[in-house]
Structure 1
């Protein structure tokens, strides 16, 4: 039985046990309904981290702005027809942080946590999000976004490329690896502006591109120099694109992006947004049933703790068994570790492990890769030998054991 099916069965049992409590029944029915809802993705971070800008970039429209509470928007993931519900959150710092964390904890299935600079990042929010036995056992629902990647690279034209190297080092830090699935750099302003580019903005950028390089280059050295001439128009460009974005846009227009669609099509790939959307698809959208089940189990735990009764002890025990046997969470953690380099396997085993874990599609055929039955049993023997080999490190043996379990479950499903 899948994790989603086990979760639904647990919720049904809880509904029977709490049928005399209208409040508990209402809450439990909400958890049942959420299992079929679109994935809820919260965009969270401290002040000035660019949350609303990131929501606009992902949604491809100017939908978000400063908000004192949770704001909900719909967007389409890049590789799925299923809708995604984006949640723009209040800042997770200051006096309101505790309330914001609690709301996100209860409402979101997954989280993009935005930080401006990794070396000064406060990861207290992510620690708080896993300050619960269920969340700690299933830390599979967060991606850290370096949301001002252009600043990490000093605003140079190749700033996002430099930021990717920073992200690669950061995602391998032990603390970060325990808290999230991945670390992805994005130039948020450039991503949002590229997705929502307006004709007057393109015209203003085209005018800048016609200014001689020797004259424009010194003006693009600082915000004050840039806005000294025509503060109204240039100030608007600076607010929407940032200096990095203006430099990139002017360069692209000079190289031949002579229309709004042509410029927009080149701005977005240079922002890092495509890599973020790929990470979201792999870690969240394609694992929607698992993440929805995780949220429902957290919701069930709320009822068991808030309204204890004789029947809740048996439900709590079954909840604990469900979590202990939830291989889906182990798959997601190992996939993230393999993709980020936190766990390494020999090259001849790495691609097979990623496929068997569902990294190239979660269907049975996609995972098995069209192999014959004899080839599948050979894979099982190979992974069992690896998991039991005393010459391998403990980490390698644990990874092999997870892959072995996935392979065995796939065989059971096709028989």
Structure 2
């Protein structure tokens, strides 16, 4: 559902240019906000050290371009955006940007910094012709709570800047288990971002999910149970829109599977039960094994590094189950890694609401600019800004979603859960809002939306409804009306 108020954000920035026409610093801020509104959605990938951020980012992109070792580049904020040709640009803390050579080693992109220390680099920007980057820009951040305060501080400064909106429109936060440090960061992100923009825009990922079950073939089932429990946790629920379990290593390797990987998995599938169980007791046993013949030692090492024991077990089980095509096998491994669910969550929770999130970031940025330096003739701009914030329904939905997950609005639990869904808490398509199957026809959507509209009008008119809940009812009613208005006339 589009709202004309969202498009007004660009007009508001144009009006601000007239107000700040003589202030070069303010105009530079407006340039950045204009670029943000017109560009792709920005999603940061954050988490503690060794949470698997770069690995998951590679899986989302579908190529191994983010360094996953412990080198200098993993200590630098790195932007991955779409470009017609591969290009890497280094932005130093002081000085002009400079290009870096595009170099690959063993199929992976490497960033030679040319003697520049990581602490002297503000960011790296990688332009890459990947289809997955056309609609979103991914930002890899150094590990939070690193033993190095400089490394940890770099991520904190980027994601939680003082007196300014975050440079990311949303964040994918990786955690191996839910620790107090994870909750503290998400609380800070909510206070910095949601506190200013009125929304909860973080998605938690239970990364390295295959390790939860010690690499057993049913590890993802165990991880899904834990992720569901975390998503309902009273400490985490107000901070994240959901928790998705993903076996990041398998997700990355399935998207970049090589012919040698497939051939080795086929050969392993031919082993007898006793031999197979013997070599799979540990990674060391697998690497040192001599059976089946024909798999080189370096191939065994590569399989463990790229797939882990969980991925090897799952790949062999799928081959034995009849998947004899490398492309089909790669797709099934990716699906079972949890990557598909993650991509679907990113699309439904963030990408379908991209214009609203970008416009909201521009509004927050403009508010910060007016707080820091407000010209005498800024009164009309302030009025227009307040009008946009109050009038744009998408913004009201975002604020209500945050309120439902944090302070509450005085609705009964069942009604609050339905309100959260109807304003897009599980995704912004009409089917997701209404709890219908994705392939539901317009008649089904119309009937469900009309039933919801009637029900929420009745709640609003009920004299027993708390005054604090009436505002929420009005937002939900407007969302239902919007779904009905989007259905062609005559339905």
* Range into which the TM-score falls when normalised by the shorter chain: 0.7 to 0.9
Deviation at 1:133, TM superposition (A): 7.0
- Residue by residue, what CA displacement relative to the aligned partner does 1:90-145 show, whole Å, maximum 9, x if unpaired? 22223133332332453222211111112566233322223337645523321111
Does the Cα contact within 8 Å between 1:146 and 1:184 map onto a contact in 2?
yes
The separation in 2 between residues aligned to 1:374 and 1:270, in whole angstroms, is 35
Tell me the TM-score normalised to structure 1 length.
0.83
Equivalent in 152, 163, 171 of residue 97 of structure 1: 152
Could you tell me which residue of structure 1 aligns to residue 7 of structure 2?
5
**Aligned with 2:430 (options 360, 366, 373):** 360
Kindly state the Cα deviation for residue 239 of structure 1 after the two structures are TM-superposed. 1.0
| In 1: Cα distance, 2:426 partner to 2:481 partner | 10
Helix, strand or coil: the match of 2:281?
coil
Alignment of 1:38-57 (within 5 A): 38-57=40-59
Counterpart Cα distance in 1 of 2:243 and 2:448: 35
Q: Is this contact kept in 2: 1:15–1:28, CA < 8 A?
A: yes
Which residue matches 1:200? 260
Q: Which residue of 2 aligns with 1:217?
A: 277
Q: CA separation of 1:335/1:22 partners in 2, compared to 1, >3 Å: closer, same or farther?
A: closer
With over 3 angstroms needed to count, the CA separation of the structure-2 counterparts of 1:313 and 1:92, relative to structure 1, is farther
1:155 aligns with 2:226: no
Give the one of 101, 104, 108 matched to 2:168: 108
In structure 1, how many angstroms separate the alpha carbons of the residues matched to 2:448 and 2:317? 53
Report the CA distance between 1:50 and its aligned residue. 0.8
Q: Distance in 1 between matches of 2:381 and 2:193?
A: 16
**Structure holding more helix per residue:** 1
Who is 2:243 aligned against? 183
Deviation, structure 1 residue 318:
5.1
1:169 to 229, 233, 244: 229
Q: Does 1:273 align with 2:339?
A: yes
**Equivalences for residues 15-414 of structure 1 within 5 A:** 15-66=17-68, 67=73, 68-74=76-82, 75-76=130-131, 83-94=135-146, 95=149, 96-104=151-159, 106-119=166-179, 122-132=182-192, 135-229=195-289, 231-311=297-377, 315=381, 319=385, 322-332=388-398, 344-345=414-415, 358-360=428-430, 369=442, 380-389=453-462, 400-408=473-481
Cα-to-partner distance string for 1:39-79 (whole Å, 9 max, x where unaligned): 122111111111111111111111211432223144545xx
Q: Are the structure 2 counterparts of residues 327 and 372 from structure 1 closer, same or farther at C-alpha, using a change threshold of 3 Å? A: closer
How far has the Cα of 1:374 moved from its partner?
11
1:207 positional shift: 2.2
Between the aligned partners of 1:264 and 1:278, the Cα distance in structure 2 is: 18
Structure 1 residues without counterparts, runs of 5 or longer: none
Q: Is the 8 A contact 2:348 2:428 kept in 1?
A: no
SS of the aligned residue for 2:144 comes to coil
| Structure 2 stretches lacking a partner, 5+ long | 83-129, 161-165, 290-295, 406-411
Secondary structure, aligned partner of 2:48: coil
Secondary structure at 2:237 match in 1: helix
The alpha-carbon deviation at position 84 of structure 1 amounts to: 1.9
Kindly report the root-mean-square deviation, in angstroms, between the aligned alpha carbons of the 2 structures: 3.9
Q: Distance in 1 between matches of 2:279 and 2:142?
A: 35
Shift of 1:178: 1.5
What secondary structure, in the 3-state scheme, does the structure 1 residue paired with 2:59 have? Answer: helix
